[in-house]
Amino acid sequence: MDPMFQVDLSFLFEQPSIWRTLVQTLIILTPLAIALSAYGTWRIGDRRGPLLMAGVALYLLWMFWPAPLAAELVLPGRAVSVIGWFWLVSAWGRQAKWHEPLLLLSNSIVLAILIALILTTGVAGIRDAMGWDVPL
């Protein structure tokens, strides 16, 4: 399986599998769901929403940058990707509000994706450690 631009999880799992693909998909869906939540925050009049949407746009631009990195920049690039993802999740956590129906829906989507990501990563890690995965 070719890496999806900067999004490469080969350092997490030994071999490609359906679980690795699912984890990778959930990692990409998280910023998109956070952007939906930021839009809802902006719609109720909070000024932090557009800032969070800009952060999501920059992160996704970085993750989907089509030019491959030079060999000496791969490890720092992965660090930037991981730090950026955690920054987005923590920024979402700081601005998450639940008192409006749109916010309840959008924040519930983010929370569901994060729970699914935790469970899927756990299953993928166990299957990879035990050698149960059949390569794609």
Amino acid sitting at position 111: L
- DSSP-H helix ranges across 44-96: 48-63, 74-95
Local confidence band at 66 (pLDDT 50, 70, 90 cut-offs): confident
pLDDT at 5: 46
Q: What is the mean pLDDT of residues 65-93?
A: 86
C-alpha distances (whole Å) from 135 to each of 7, 24, 55 are 19, 16, 35
Task: State yes or no: pLDDT of 4 exceeds 80.
Answer: no
**Segment among 25-39, 67-81, 115-129 with least mean pLDDT:** 67-81
CB 135 within 8 A of CB 124: no
